[in-house]
Every structure is written in structure tokens, then in C-alpha cells.
Amino acid sequence: MSASKPDGLSRRDFLGVTGALAGAGLLAGKSTAGDGDNRPAAGGLGPDPVKFGLRVNGKDHEVAAEPRATLLDVLRDSLDLTGAKKACDRGECGACTVLVDGKAVYACMMLALQARGREIRTVEGLAKGEDLHAVQAAFIEHDGYQCGFCTPGQVMATVALLEKTPSPSGDQIRAGLCGNLCRCAAYNRIFDAAAAASKAK
Amino acid sequence: MAKRTLRVGYPGNYREIEVDSPDAEPAPWDADSKLAVVGKRSPRLEGADKVTGKAKYTADVKLQGMLVARVLRSPYARATARSIGLAKALKMPGVKAAIEVEKEARYHGQAIAAVAAETEAQAEDAVAAIEVDWAVGEHVVDVEAARKPNAPRVHGGKNPNERGGEAQNTATEEACVTALKKSHATVDITFTTPVVTHSCLESHGSVARWESDGSLTVWDSTQSIFGVRDGLARGFQLPAEKVRVVKEHMGGGFGSKLGMGQHSMIAARLAREAKAPVKLMLTRKEEHLAGGNRPSSVQRVRAGADKDGKLTCLWLQSHGTGGINGGANCAGPLMSLYNCPVRRLWHADVITNASPAAAFRAPGHVQGMFALESTMDELAGKLGLDPIEFRKRNDQNEMRQAEYGEGAKMAGWEARAHLPNSGGRHKARGLGVSASIWGGGGAPGAQARCVISRDGAVEIQCGTQDIGTGTRTIIAMIAAEELGLKPEQVLVKLGDTTLPFSHGSGGSMTAPSVTPAVRAATAAARGRVFEACAKSLKADADNLTAKGGNVVAKGGASIPWAEACSKIAGANVSEQATRAQNFRGYKDGTAGCQFAEVEVDLETGHVQVLRVVAVHDCGRVVNPLLAESQINGGIIQGLSYALLEQRILDDATGRMMNANFSDYRIAGPKEIPEISVVLFDVSNGRTNTGVMGIGEPPIVPTPAAIANAVAHAIGKRITDLPITPDKILAALGKK
């Protein structure tokens, strides 16, 4: 299965799916009729799972998921990639940050179907065998975490920042990471880790 | 008991004391101990798991046939469910079980019913299909309204909402009035603080599985695996050994995850009903609605001082709400920090139709210290005294006295009157200070086992939990110290109730409770290795030491650790130890102080904390890298409390209006100040390790230090937290 044609769906089908989602209120899992019939208006997909392809960490996967499933749920539940965490499920905390085509995104705010045909990178794909990515090594050395729950998101946001801005200033680091919350508040050391990783490159 | 002489105190101020320590324990470390591993900056042992996503949290547990649960919560602050109809929900796709939880709702967000389904989405759909016939009652969420005689009674009947009284051994009102009359300077200020939520990034949650033998296994995001075990055992009337609670990693614990939560019972009930494992993780909204919170406070402080700058009276009249729970008392700092001849406390818990409070990092102290240390600055101003000088005149703690000196130097206190200013007349800078105070001496009873195998492998088993503080790493460091090994050579097993008992991780108790047990168990196991290999070294076991990866005899002969262990008869040696009572020692609490430098934008009212200097002590510091992380975290949570956080309830509906992270803001990267930490090394001679806790102390002084810095910057005191821009502008007469 290739990334350009991951499954049998055309782009038009896909737009039909998202349109149906919005129109039929499927995001909330309810039909407009309120009679327990969850089928959307004609022309869309779902509510039953549909099969489609996702390219994650350089590997192609076929998944079956409801059209309303977020990328985060599919990564965690279907592909068992539990590094990205669900902490707010509404794009406020960044614990689910992954890279899609090189850009840091909140996986809870993107439907899995929207990620078809795109390069998804998660924290699980960073290290090469036992060799940690420079950002990962810097987080360990600088103690850029406490409980570690937000760490996969922080690491991915840092990777995205450094790929775009290899030598960020202190302000650029704060701006680059300002979408990621850490309740243990390891921020100062996350900044240190980001700065150290940028120098290590 | 053995009498041992220890050198205790802090650099520049040591003395010798004699302590009674258990015969079986190794000699306590003191100021003269030369340690190879303990005291070094050492990265966390589980670091690679945390940065690669391998670390499994409760939310990540996936079991064969596991269902997902969701909870129906009361939309009303006070209502009775006449009936709870589960039939429709049970017929929904994927639904395997549905249960009733509670019919009386006393706050918005109270659990009413729950369902388990094959997927989370199905469970959510099914919850929406539960039919409740509500009888909506009268609620009260405002703390002042709840005190009124005609207010709806939250717990019904004749139970008053206000439960108050004067503290024991407290001065009379008359004595206070007299003392204040005689004082040279007095203040009378009322301080208020909001309810704030813990907001752990990993929500509360459990995965429950009933085993074929009728026992129960629960994975739980908890600060207290044994607490959850005992709670579940009581709930299901099972012997405790029939319940096993597991927690490898957990995503944030600040007090609300102590003891068993209702979600654990719900998950286990659903699992029993569905005959399948059930996972229940609360959503962010549920966390805000029902995941615990720090109570509010209204603190009227009347205080006086004489001409010499000595306190004459501290009088606190306070009330606050922990929702349907009590626990709003915040008098700790005022009752214990300073010398004062006349001290009075009257406090009332006010019950409201709001979610129950829970312990939250230094319960009471954060609120109380804000009021006390704001008061101290106001009094100092009236006396014309420097705030630190005024504090020192009333503080007998010699450690804190020395800490003020260190901190003042680093913070540039001398130049306080001439702070630089980046924004001309539109901005104002200020520098403030606050004392800290906390216990953190640990408790007896924690157990640890050390197993050393014939191949030299070392395993420490301890039923404590690492809640992100680094417990796993410091346990390995203590054992490595005793065995002359490196921390990474020690495998630490924790977070499982099949391991030897340890307490819940609250009260900054974990490190001081666990490390003495680990050290004693390791020393005992090491003794067994020495006995086994003494012959090979042609030496007495008593004359052997373990260092640098070898076992070394007094004469100089040595063999590598693994070779020494190969002499063990049988598979391994295993020794268990129980943590003894604290010795009398040197000091039983922690001191500390913090300095905050802020810049206030006089046009917008925005407060930016530029820098915090934190001077803290926690006995022997096992790992400065991790201790500093604890301090950074406490400071930033304190900053968040001082400037950003507040739960907002709507009086009319009783509902929480900001149950998310957009409207309930916690500190993020843009708010973070530069932080300078000074760890004040104290040899306290209280246990065989002399370690104390540092989880709570660093949040205690931060809000007060920031409030004092803001007052210094703008010349007006904000007495109501959080210090938001509108309050700054109002104080400046710009609104």
C-alpha cells in the first residue's frame, strides 16, 4: 500500500465523509433524528468503521476506524502507539503532539482520515534502535520532565521546532513550545534541553 | 539501640549530638560521611522510557477484551434522581454493562451512573442515552451565601453549612484586642484566595480486572497503591491480599490521587458486571468538575508589633470552602512560623454545593503563607523596617536566618530600592520575599527488600510509587552507595502492592520514609554477601567493604562484585527492613525562603515574573538534579496559583464555567521566570540517611513572594488571588 494511494477512497469521498460528519452531527455521535439510528445522510461514510491507510514512522499501516475517530485515538487504540497522550482531547495541552508532514499538530484535533497520505511521525519513531535522537538525549541529561506524561508531546514539539529553526533563541524556544503544557512544570529544563539539542546538531 | 555520635547542622554551623539508632541499622550518615553516589547529579533511570514513549501509564494499559467506561455526571448542583433508566443505554452498540452510582447529586459533576462499552465513543453514546428523571433542588455555591441562616442546607436536615470554632490553646479575643491596643504598629487586612484544581495531565483513572480466583487487579493512576488496595478491599468486602494494585508510571500527582477515588470502584464494579476488564480514565472536564481541588479562603488577619519590631499579636479569623467537604483550614504558617506571645485562630469550613476538596501540595500552607507574609510586609512598612530584618527579628529558625542571607545576596536585595526598569514609566519592577515552612521528616513503617543474586544482580523491592519525583532513581542511588556500585546496576521494583509495604506519596514523605528502609535492607543483604565471600578474601566479614565495584578487605585484597556474589549459597540473598522511628536529631522541619522579582505593565496590568531565587533545605540531598526539578515545579505551580488559576462557578446554576484548559489557565512556557535554586545542605541526624522531602516546601512561599513583589512594584497591595490585570488596574485607579 503506497502513501499516495493508501486505499480505495478518492479525495472526493473523503470530503464527502467530513461533510457528512459536520452535517449529521456525527462528531458528537448522535443522529439528527434522535431515534438511535446513527447512519449519516446519504453519500457519506460511517458510522461503522472504514478501512484506510496511514503512514506512520515510515511504515504503512491499514486501519479500520470510525470516520469520527481522531488521529490520536487511532494511533493509540489501533496502532498501539501510546506515546502520544490524551490529556485534554480538545487542543489545549499538547500532550498528543505528533508531526504530520513535518509540522507539529495536536493529534486530538485531526481526524485520522485527514492524515491519510501524509507522513506521520510519533515519539516512537525518533530513536534509531538504541540510539536516541539528540532531543531525547537532551531531555534525559537536563531532566526535562518529572512525571513524563507530557514528555512525548514536548519532545515532538521540540523536534518540530529544531527542524524548522535549528538554532533558536530563548524566545523562539518558548514560542515554539508554547502549545505544550507541563503541570509538573519542568519548563526551565525543557528549554535547557531544547537549547542543548540545538547545539548538539 | 546503639548510641551514636553524629555531626549535625549546616555548613558553618555544625555540632555533635548523640542519637539512639537501631542496632541492626547501619550507622547514620552525618556531615562527615563521604559518599560516592548520594549527592551527585544523576539522570533518572527511567529516562529512556519516558522520552521514547515506552513508559506505560494507566491510560496506556491495554488488556485482552478490555472495555472502556464513561460516567454520567449530574448537570445540576443539587438534584435527586427519582429514577435512573439504564435500559436504553444497555441496548446501545458495544455496551456490556451499566450501573447506577448515586441518586443524590450535591454538586455539578457528581457521578450518577456509568457504562462500559467496547470503545470510548460507544461508551459516550451510551451515557447520553441514560434516562434520568431529575428532581432539581436548591443549591448554594457562593461561600458567603452559604453562611447565611436561610441558605439551602447542603447536607440536608439541620446540618449547618458553616462548621467553625476557635482552635485549642488559642488566645481569647480580649487578649488579642489588648495586645493590639498596646502595639506600636498594627494591620487589619482580609485576604481571599480562590478554589483551584490539581489539573494533573494524566487524569484520575483505573483499569480493573477480576481474576478467575475472585481476586481483583487494578492498574491505577495513584499516589498510594496501598491506599487504593485497602479502599477497594473495603468496598468489595475482600481481604486486602485479594486485591492487587499496580502503578508503574503516573502522570502527575499533587495530592488528589492519595487514597482510592470513586473511579476505581466504578471501574471494578463495571468489570464485575461485564465479566471483562474495564478502563475508566476521567476526561479533562471531569477532572475539573470532580477530580479534587484546593479549598478557597477568606482570611482576616489582625497583627501587631512593638517598637523593636517584635510581633505582639497574630489573630486569624478565617473561613473557606472545600465544597461538600471541609478541609479549608489554612492557619499552619500563622500558628507556627514566627514567635508571637498572643496568637488566636478561629476558623470555619463552609460547606457548599461544589465538588469535594482534596489534599493539594502543601494543603493550607499556600493560602496561609500568602496572607501571613503579605501581612509581615505591611507591618514592616509601618515600622519602617526592611522586610527581611523584620522577619529575622521574629524567626528563631537558625537555618532560615542563614537562608535569608544566601537568598538576599543572589536576589540583589541590597539594590531593591533601585531596580532596573525596561519599560520607562509604563512599567514598574518589584522584589519580594517570603519564608517557607513545612515538615517532610517521613514516617516509620515503610519497608524495603534487597535481593542480591549469585550473578551480582541487585534488586530493590519497595511498594512505594514514583509520582514523577524520582523515587525510583534515588532508591537505586541509596542501594548503589551501600554496595559500591552504580545506580544503573540496581533494578528498582516499585508500584505494586505485592511488594513490601510503603506509605502513600503525600506530605513530602516518600524519600524520608523509604530511603532509610532501603539503606538498612541493602546493608543487611550486603552483610550476607560479605559472609559468603569472606573466605575467598581470607578476611573476616566484618572487615570487608564494598566500593568501586569490588569487595575489598581491610588488608587491601579485593574481588569484583560479581565474583563475591558467586559465593552465595543458593540463588540469592534477600533481606527486608522496616523504617524505624525518627531519632531525636537536629531539626524536624524544613525551612527555606524565596525571592521573586516581577515587572508590572502599568498600562495593561500584566504581571511578568522575571526571576525567582529559591533557597531550600531538605536534609541530605540525594540527587540535586531531581531536587531542583521539584523546586522548579513547586515555584511554577505557585506562580500559576498567584497569577492565573481560579475555578469559576456560576451562582445561578451552580455549574463550573471554565472546566477546560482554555478558560482555566495554568502556567505555560510564556509565564516561566528564570529560577535560581540554592540547596542548603543540612545534616539532620533524624534517620540513617538524613533525607527529607522537598515536594511541598517550594510551592509554599511563591505566591506570597510574588504578591509582595507586586506590592513593591506598584505601591498597592493586592489581597485577592489570583493577581489578574483587572485587579492591578483597579488598584492603580485605572479602571
Per-residue cell: B534: 569472606
- pLDDT tens digit sequence for A55-101: 999 999 999 999 999 999 999 999 999 999 999 999 999 999 999 99
Residue B401 gets which letter from DSSP? H
CA–centroid distance for B667 within its chain: 18
Nearest Cα to Cα of residue B716 among B605, B636, B596, B594: B605
Same domain for A118 and A175?
no
> By the 8 A CB rule, do B78 and B139 touch?
yes
Is residue A56 in a domain? yes
- Could you tell me if residue A169 is inside a domain? yes
Q: Count interface pairs A-B at CB distance under 8 A.
A: 180
Under an 8 A CB cutoff, do B252 and A177 touch?
no
Q: Which residue of B has its CA nearest to A129?
A: B52
Q: CA-to-CA distance for B414 and B407, rounded, in angstroms?
A: 11
**Cβ-Cβ contacts under 8 Å, A141 against chain B:** 43
- Quote the number of domains for chain A: 2
Strands (E) located in B561-716: 572-578, 593-601, 607-617, 674-680
B284 min Cα distance to partner chain A (Å) = 5
Contact call for B47 and A139, based on CB within 8 A: yes
pLDDT at B440: 87
Cis check for the bond before A47: say yes or no (omega within 30 of 0): yes
Contact A147 B120 (CB under 8 A): no
| B199, closest residue in chain A (CA to CA) | A183
Give A48's contacts (C-beta < 8 A, 6+ positions apart).
Answer: A66
Q: Of the candidates A68, A188, A189, which has its C-beta nearest B121's C-beta? A: A68
Beta carbons of B201 and A149 less than 8 Å apart:
yes
d(CA B328, CA B352) in angstroms, rounded, equals 12
The answer to whether the Cα torsion of B710, B712, B715, B717 is positive or negative is positive
Q: How far apart are the first and last CA of chain B?
A: 68
For residues B485 and B458, is the Cβ–Cβ distance under 8 A?
A: yes
Are A106 and A62 part of one and the same domain?
Answer: yes
C-alpha cell at B305: 508589633
**B119 Cβ partners below 8 Å, 6+ apart?**
A66, A77, B68, B94
What would the grid cell of residue A186 be?
519542568
Spatial strand order of the sheet with A50-56 comes to: A59-65, A50-56, A119-121, A97-100, A103-106
Tell me the shortest Cα–Cα distance from B174 to chain A, in angstroms: 46
- Amino acid in the structure at residue B414: E
Which sign, positive or negative, has the C-alpha torsion A21, A25, A30, A36?
negative
How far is it, in rounded angstroms, from Cα B376 to Cα B309? Answer: 11
Cα–Cα distance between A145 and B625 in angstroms, integer?
Answer: 11
pLDDT computed for residue A23 by the predictor: 37
Residue A164 forms part of a structural domain: yes
Give contacts of B471 with chain A, Cβ < 8 Å: none
Residue B722, preceding peptide bond in cis (omega within 30° of 0): yes
pLDDT at residue number B339: 97
* Cα separation, B528 vs B566, whole angstroms: 12
Q: From CA B416, how far away is CA B615, in angstroms rounded?
A: 18
Q: What is the pLDDT of residue A43?
A: 64
Element (H, E) at B77: none
Residue A77 lies in a domain: yes
Same domain flag for A66 and A113: yes
Same domain, A119 and A138: no
| Same domain membership, residue A111 and residue A152 | no
**Ranges in chain B, pLDDT < 70:** 423, 735
Q: Hey, which bits of A66-187 come out as E strands? A: 97-100, 103-106, 119-121
Cα gap B408→B413, rounded to integer Å: 5
The CA distance from B419 to B413, in Å, is 10
Instruction: Please name each of the domains of chain B with its CATH number.
Output: 1-34+397-441+582-735 (3.30.365.10), 73-135 (3.90.1170.50), 443-578 (3.30.365.10)
Q: How many CB atoms lie within 10 A of CB B389?
A: 12
Task: Kindly list the strands in the beta sheet with B205-210, ordered across the sheet, starting from the edge strand earlier in the chain.
Answer: B95-100, B111-117, B67-73, B278-281, B205-210, B216-220, B243-246
Cβ distance B284 to A189 less than 8 Å, yes or no, reads: no
Residues A164 and A183 in one domain: yes
Burial class of residue B375 in the structure, from the number of CB atoms within 10 Å of its CB (0-12 exposed, 13-18 middle, 19+ buried): buried
Q: Which range marks the domain in which residue A169 is found?
A: 134-198
- For residue B133, what is the enclosing H or E element? strand B131-136
At residue A1 the predicted structure's pLDDT band, cuts being 50, 70 and 90, is very low
What is the rounded radius of gyration, in angstroms, for the C-alpha atoms of chain A? 18
As a whole number of angstroms, the distance between CA B151 and CA B180 comes to 35
Question: Do residues A107 and A158 share a domain?
Answer: no
Query: Taking CB atoms and an 8 Å limit, are A88 and B661 in contact across chains?
Result: yes
CB-nearest to A122 from B53, B202, B630 is B53
Nearest by CB: B629 against A122, A140, A189: A189
Question: CA triplet A153, A156, A162: central angle to 5 degrees?
Answer: 140
Cα-Cα end-to-end distance for chain A: 34
- Rounded Cα distance between B145 and B352, Å, is 9
Residue B537 three-state SS: coil
Task: At A23, list the grid cell.
Answer: 452535517
Helices marked H in B384-431? 387-393, 398-411
Contacts of B199 in chain A (CB under 8 A): 183
Scan for cell 507574609, then name that residue: B373
- Kindly report the CATH number assigned to the domain that includes residue A65: 3.10.20.30
User: Grid coordinates standing for A81?
Assistant: 502507539
Spatial contact of B367 and B299, defined as CB atoms under 8 Å apart: yes
State whether A83 and B53 contact (CB < 8 Å): yes
Inter-residue long-range contacts of B389-398, CB under 8 Å, 24+ positions, other chains counted: B389/B309, B390/B305, B390/B309, B391/B338, B391/B433, B391/B435, B393/B308, B393/B309, B393/B310, B394/B309, B394/B310, B394/B311, B394/B338, B394/B339, B394/B340, B395/B337, B395/B338, B395/B339, B395/B435, B396/B339, B397/B591, B398/B13
Any idea which residue has 531532566 for its cell?
A143
Is residue B487 a contact partner of residue B450, using CB atoms and an 8 Å limit?
Answer: no
Domain annotation covers residue A36: no
Percent of chain B surpassing pLDDT 90: 96
Residue B313's nearest CA partner among B174, B169, B180 is B180
Which residue among A124, A150, A175 closes a domain? A124
Length of chain B, in residues: 735
**Of A124, A145, A169, the domain-final residue:** A124
pLDDT at B421: 74
Angle, CA of A71, A77 and A82, to the nearest 5°: 85
One-letter amino acid for residue B505 of the chain? S
Best mutation target among A106, A136, A183, A192 (most B Cβ atoms within 10 Å) is: A183
The CATH number of the domain holding residue A138 is: 1.10.150.120
Question: How confident is the model at residue B169, as a pLDDT?
Answer: 86
Kindly state whether residues A118 and A167 are assigned to the same domain.
no
Residue A36 confidence (pLDDT): 42
A151 shares its domain with A191: yes
Chain A residues within 8 A of B67 when measuring between CB atoms:
none
Q: Which residues of A touch B51 (CB under 8 A)?
A: 123, 132, 135-136, 139-140, 145, 151-152, 155
Give residue for cell 528549554.
A191
b/e B403-430 (16+ beta carbons within 10 angstroms → b): bbeebbeebbbeebeebeeeeeeebbbb
Residue B718 has φ and ψ, to the nearest 5°, of -90, 120
Q: What's the confidence (pLDDT) of residue A73?
A: 96
Taking CB atoms and an 8 Å cutoff, what residues of chain B touch A66?
Answer: 119, 121
Q: Is residue A2 part of a domain?
A: no
Amino acid present at B27 = A
pTM for the structure as a whole: 0.94
Output the pLDDT for position B17: 95
Q: Where are the beta strands (DSSP E) in chain A?
A: 50-56, 59-65, 97-100, 103-106, 119-121
| Total residue length of chain A | 201
Q: Exposure of B40 by Cβ count < 10 A (0-12 exposed, 13-18 middle, 19+ buried)?
A: middle
Q: Tell me which of A97, A124, A151 is where a domain ends.
A: A124
A172 pLDDT higher than 90: yes
Residues A149 and A192 in one domain: yes
Nearest CA in chain A to B660: A88
Tell me, yes or no, whether A115 and A145 share the same domain: no
Output the CA torsion sign for B685, B686, B690, B695.
negative
> Residue B425: what pLDDT?
81
- Gap from A13 CA to chain B (nearest CA, Å): 23
Residue type, B586: Y
* A138 shares its domain with A72: no
Residue A103 lies in a domain: yes
Residue A175 lies inside a defined structural domain of this protein: yes
* Nearest of B519, B528, B514 to residue B452 by alpha carbon: B528
